[in-house]
Chains A and B, each alone.
Chain A
Amino acid sequence: MNTATFTPSRVEDLRLVTGRGRYTADWNLPGQLHAHMVRSDRAHALVRGIDTSAAKASPGVVAILTADDVKAAGYTDIPTGAPVKTADGSMQVKCAMPVLATDRVRFVGQPIAMVIAESARAAQDAAEQIMVDYEDLVSVTSMDAARRPGAPELHGVAAGNLSAVAIAGDEAAVAAAFARATMTTTLSMDSQRLAVAPMELRACLVDYDASADRYTVYTPTQGMLGMRGSLSQISGVTGDKIQVIAEDVGGSFGLRGGSASEQALLMLAARRLGKPVKWVSSRSEHFTSEWHGRALRLIGHIALDAQHNILAIRWEHQADLGAYTCYFQAFIGTRNLSVTMGGVYRIPALFARQELIFTNTAPVSAYRGAGRPDIAYAIERLIDQAAAEHGIDPVELRRRNFIPNDAFPYTTANGTVYDSGDFDGTMSKALVMADYAGFAARRDEAARRGKLRGIGFGCYLEASGAGGAPKDVVRAKFAADGRIDVFGVTGSSGQGHETSFAQIVADGLGVSPAAIRYRASDPSQELVGNGTGGSRSLYGAGSACKMLAARILELARAAAARALDAAPESLQYVDGGFQTGSATSDPGKRIGLLELAGKLARSADGAHPLDCEGEAVSGATFPNGCHVAEVEIDPQTGVTEVIAYNAVDDLGTVISPQLVQGQVHGGVLQGAGQVFGEQIIYDDDTGQLLTGSFMDYPMPRVGWVPNIRNDYNPVPTTLNALGAKGVGESGCSGSLPALVNAMSAALRSRGVPPMNMPFTPARVWEALSERAG
């Protein structure tokens, strides 16, 4: 085989498989300085003083920044995002994190100072000589500890460490439903705290151009507007003076939406020192100081009538915010849970009460789904538990309660409108794929080998992101080389935007995708749009790409008519060109779009007459699906093997099947990571982080879910131009419940009561041993 003629699957691939990708840490600028952070090694303490004298004298040190420098520069705290409303109508109590700690630290890893030196090693050596005078305070690192009467409070303004108590739904209707219920079930489930852990570590390089008073910020991000907006908010520098560059981003999963302390400090340092300054995080710093994910407790109560119709669900949610308020955070434990709190079921009454709680831990923000997988997990596990307690097959209980196809658009009891779906059809397809009918025989066969086999379902539904920006805009610029550059603001962190968006525009124009180049930042910085997140990039910016192609053709038609000397309305557009004849075999006079573009003259400023914008307004959609997991536990060791994993998803219209399948695979495995291993653990007494490296924090590895079979039951949405529902977060939303329900079913057969994730061999073995003993 001649590998030289190989065509990569994605536009991105060639540079990434040959080591020519450019991630932030790969950038270097002449004369750059290097930074290293000093962080709190205490969970809760007063800061009496910071002695930087020895560090200042250390070789190569150029500057040391502390809170005083931040204040002198007029920088403000880390943005806290939009607040949520509490049950009494007031706004949540927000406690912003200072860029650098002032008089108190509230979690291990909180930034205290930045050392800037001529080399990264010199900066690190000096940082170790900074002496912080602490006065320790008692810490609370769990929600239970933080809510205990008399617990130490992190912030004077947040009594009882409560930021908010929010409610959603109709409490009275739910109470009435429970009063007439025949059967009820209650289950408490933790969605444990996780490290987001993209493989690329956070990094930043800032260059300040004094002559233009302009900052160039190289840093990984999900979308340049979110990053630029938060940097602008912290620094007071207007957005037009901040250029964000992120060519390749090594994963994000919700983490890279905005600025943290380090990016802002580098802006301050680069301006003050007149040289570019670079900082690259260690993995240890990632664990201690970057936003964590999940950290939710979900307590569900379900009421059924005698025919197993669901009458109501009542939720009590607790969200661990960590030590400070940060962007996205408030919505994870509130709206993102309640918006779909009835899942795929017709439930007449729904209510949730939600507490947001401060603890002496790293702040919590978005992680793949940001509450959506958590509520899908909780609903589906509650359904299974109810089925087990009340002696009904879990498939039958679901089937009896699905929202039927003729009910769409369906308004849930708390007011969410689902546009479309085929929940029964999706599950039916999954049952066949997973050979549910043959499960009993497989379970019995496994039992003869001494193994516990379980099957579990996850009939998830989630609300994808409506987006914070009013619309998504993309811009086409016809380049001198005959290709079309398409600019947008949504940034890829592995999703393959350069491939998908080029494909959408190319399909719309009937030209080769090779003629289109997507770029995730626009030098003119005037575009409106959302960053990547909430599974919405493809249908948001992608819809705009589809509209862009239509707009290009509209402009080109008039130009083609002049070139062909024909009436615009008489022209046919066939295979990437305008022609006077209607057929491919008899085109008449014809001009290709790209040929036409090449002939059109540019204006003096380089603008091309076909340069234009496409825009789309795309709201939330409701991706859903049915994932079925089959597991086998060895009771002698507690080791679990995932025997089969079948996923049927309704993602609406699928644009790039291979990329969509990749998103599902990745999401499923991130769910498996949470189910079988991942957990951030703080020591209750000292508040120290016990899982601060990949040695202590089990990341999912090759073979954890060896085979994932995918199929689709697409019901295209009418809510955007593409009919797509989004895919980024669906894998987690399906796999958390499917895998945990499979584990729970297997363990239930040995009398093990419901247990929390993660199902590590030690915990599974212990749970089985307790029952046996």
Chain B
Amino acid sequence: MNLELTVNGKTQSMQCEDRTLLVDLLREQIGLTGTHVGCDTSQCGCCTVHLDGQAVKSCTVLAAQADGSSITTIEGLAHGDALHPVQQAFSACHGLQCGYCTPGMIMASTDLLRRHPDPTDEQIREGLAGNLCRCTGYVNIVAAVKQAASLMRAAGSQSA
């Protein structure tokens, strides 16, 4: 089938098999390997991307369902050399070790912060309940989300 979608700001047309998952389209056809696959059952969240501004697990979306949509992956989050505050906070707080879950964690966290700019612990837990990490123990991930929230609020109040 034929598709047209905008990935990280670039609109492209492509062909794929009907059964192609969005994650496979991103990784194999577009070459954006920052989006990872960690399970077969939509539990791990490694493949989280933004589809029209909302976090989705791209292993659970058919490429066909994304036709006409705008997608942001981890590769499209930074503005040039300037990291997104969530990316920066994950590093600053040591919220990553092996880094495999990290792209999905960051994409889920940015969506969580869009919904809750000043999240409670409970809101962070709920927002990241669908993302697994085997290395960090999550303590520093929660700290990173909080730090990112305050960076983003500070930036927001400056621009306002």
Chain A residues proximal to chain B, CB less than 8 Å:
1-4, 6, 8-10, 12-14, 16-23, 25-26, 121, 197-201, 248-251, 253, 280, 282-284, 493-496, 658-659, 661-662, 665-670, 693-695, 699-708, 731
A23-B87 contact given A670-B134, A694-B132, CB 8 Å threshold: no
Q: B41–A199 contact, CB under 8 A? A: no
Tell me the minimal C-beta distance from A58 to chain B in angstroms.
16
Q: A198–B98 contact, CB under 8 A? A: yes
A699-B132 contact given A21-B34, A282-B40, CB 8 Å threshold: yes
Q: A17–B91 contact, CB under 8 A? A: yes
Q: A662–B99 contact, CB under 8 A? A: no
Q: B99–A701 contact, CB under 8 A? A: no
Query: Please, how many angstroms separate the alpha-carbon atoms of A688 and B92 in the complex?
Result: 44
A121-B33 contact given A250-B99, A694-B39, CB 8 Å threshold: no
A250-B100 contact given A198-B134, A703-B125, CB 8 Å threshold: yes
Query: Please, how many angstroms separate the alpha-carbon atoms of A580 and B99 in the complex?
Result: 46
Q: B98–A199 contact, CB under 8 A? A: yes
From A9, A19, A22, B32 is in contact (CB under 8 Å) with A19
Tell me the minimal C-beta distance from A697 to chain B in angstroms.
9
Question: How many cross-chain pairs have Cβ atoms below 8 Å apart between A and B?
Answer: 197
Interface-facing stretch out of B50-58, B60-68, B101-109: B101-109
From B39, B97, B125, A495 is in contact (CB under 8 Å) with B97
Tell me the minimal C-beta distance from A118 to chain B in angstroms.
13
Query: Please, how many angstroms separate the alpha-carbon atoms of A701 and B105 in the complex?
Result: 12
13 A–B pairs (Cβ distance < 8 Å), ordered by A:
A2-B82, A17-B102, A20-B34, A22-B33, A25-B37, A248-B98, A249-B98, A250-B98, A668-B137, A693-B41, A693-B43, A702-B138, A703-B125
Q: B41–A695 contact, CB under 8 A? A: yes
For residue B94, CB closer than 8 A to chain A, the reply is yes
From A26, A251, A658, A706, B94 is in contact (CB under 8 Å) with A658
Q: B128–A3 contact, CB under 8 A? A: no
For residue B14, CB closer than 8 A to chain A, the reply is no
A17-B137 contact given A200-B36, A702-B128, A702-B142, CB 8 Å threshold: no
**Chain B residue nearest to A5 in the complex (CB):** B82
Q: A659–B134 contact, CB under 8 A? A: no
Tell me the minimal C-beta distance from B105 to chain A in angstroms.
9
Tell me the minimal C-beta distance from B79 to chain A in angstroms.
8
**CB-defined contacts of A283 to chain B, threshold 8 Å:** 38-41, 44
From A12, A706, A707, B99 is in contact (CB under 8 Å) with A12
**Chain B residue nearest to A696 in the complex (CB):** B41
Q: A693–B39 contact, CB under 8 A? A: yes
Tell me the minimal C-beta distance from A50 to chain B in angstroms.
25
**CB-defined contacts of A22 to chain B, threshold 8 Å:** 33
**CB-defined contacts of B125 to chain A, threshold 8 Å:** 701-703
Q: A1–B138 contact, CB under 8 A? A: no
Q: A659–B38 contact, CB under 8 A? A: no
Tell me the minimal C-beta distance from A298 to chain B in angstroms.
25
Tell me the minimal C-beta distance from B2 to chain A in angstroms.
19
Tell me the minimal C-beta distance from B90 to chain A in angstroms.
5
From B32, B33, B106, B135, A17 is in contact (CB under 8 Å) with B106
Tell me the minimal C-beta distance from A3 to chain B in angstroms.
4
Q: B138–A18 contact, CB under 8 A? A: no
For residue B88, CB closer than 8 A to chain A, the reply is yes
For residue B140, CB closer than 8 A to chain A, the reply is yes
Tell me the minimal C-beta distance from A702 to chain B in angstroms.
4
**CB-defined contacts of A26 to chain B, threshold 8 Å:** 27, 33
From B40, B46, B82, B155, A199 is in contact (CB under 8 Å) with B46
From A3, A201, A668, B38 is in contact (CB under 8 Å) with A201
For residue B30, CB closer than 8 A to chain A, the reply is no
Query: Please, how many angstroms separate the alpha-carbon atoms of A197 and B132 in the complex?
Result: 10
Q: Chain A's interface: helix, strand, loop or mixed, by majority?
A: loop
Query: Please, how many angstroms separate the alpha-carbon atoms of A670 and B75 in the complex?
Result: 30
In chain B, residues 109-160, which have Cβ atoms closer than 8 Å to a Cβ of chain A?
121, 124-125, 128-129, 131-142, 151, 154-155
Tell me the minimal C-beta distance from A203 to chain B in angstroms.
10
Q: B100–A199 contact, CB under 8 A? A: yes
A23-B100 contact given A199-B134, A658-B94, A669-B137, CB 8 Å threshold: yes
**CB-defined contacts of A707 to chain B, threshold 8 Å:** 139
- New contact pairs (4) apart from A198-B134, A199-B100, A694-B43, CB-CB < 8 Å: A18-B77, A201-B37, A250-B100, A706-B121
**CB-defined contacts of B87 to chain A, threshold 8 Å:** 17-18
Q: A705–B92 contact, CB under 8 A? A: no
From B44, B78, B124, A18 is in contact (CB under 8 Å) with B78
**Chain B residue nearest to A731 in the complex (CB):** B137
A702-B75 contact given A4-B82, A496-B97, CB 8 Å threshold: no
**Chain A residue nearest to B142 in the complex (CB):** A702
Q: A13–B96 contact, CB under 8 A? A: yes
Query: Please, how many angstroms separate the alpha-carbon atoms of A13 and B84 in the complex?
Result: 13
Query: Please, how many angstroms separate the alpha-carbon atoms of A693 and B42 in the complex?
Result: 10
**CB-defined contacts of B129 to chain A, threshold 8 Å:** 701-702
From B32, B34, B132, A701 is in contact (CB under 8 Å) with B132
A251-B100 contact given A658-B94, A695-B41, CB 8 Å threshold: yes
**CB-defined contacts of A699 to chain B, threshold 8 Å:** 43, 132, 134
Q: B39–A13 contact, CB under 8 A? A: no
**CB-defined contacts of B99 to chain A, threshold 8 Å:** 12-13, 16-17, 21, 248, 250, 494
**CB-defined contacts of B77 to chain A, threshold 8 Å:** 18
Tell me the minimal C-beta distance from A468 to chain B in angstroms.
23
Q: A19–B83 contact, CB under 8 A? A: no
**CB-defined contacts of B83 to chain A, threshold 8 Å:** 3-4, 6, 17-18
Tell me the minimal C-beta distance from B122 to chain A in angstroms.
8
**CB-defined contacts of A201 to chain B, threshold 8 Å:** 37-38
Q: A200–B132 contact, CB under 8 A? A: no
**CB-defined contacts of B131 to chain A, threshold 8 Å:** 702
**Chain B residue nearest to A199 in the complex (CB):** B100
**Chain B residue nearest to A20 in the complex (CB):** B34
**Chain A residue nearest to B154 in the complex (CB):** A1
From A1, A21, A251, A731, B134 is in contact (CB under 8 Å) with A251
**CB-defined contacts of B19 to chain A, threshold 8 Å:** 121
Query: Please, how many angstroms separate the alpha-carbon atoms of A381 and B129 in the complex?
Result: 31
Query: Please, how many angstroms separate the alpha-carbon atoms of A18 and B85 in the complex?
Result: 12
Query: Please, how many angstroms separate the alpha-carbon atoms of A21 and B133 in the complex?
Result: 16
**Chain A residue nearest to B76 in the complex (CB):** A19
From B80, B82, B92, A9 is in contact (CB under 8 Å) with B92
Q: A199–B103 contact, CB under 8 A? A: no
**CB-defined contacts of A493 to chain B, threshold 8 Å:** 98
For residue B22, CB closer than 8 A to chain A, the reply is no
**CB-defined contacts of B100 to chain A, threshold 8 Å:** 21, 23, 198-200, 248, 250-251
A17-B82 contact given A284-B40, A666-B137, A705-B137, CB 8 Å threshold: no
Q: A666–B135 contact, CB under 8 A? A: yes
**CB-defined contacts of A19 to chain B, threshold 8 Å:** 32-35, 73-75, 103
Query: Please, how many angstroms separate the alpha-carbon atoms of A706 and B146 in the complex?
Result: 14
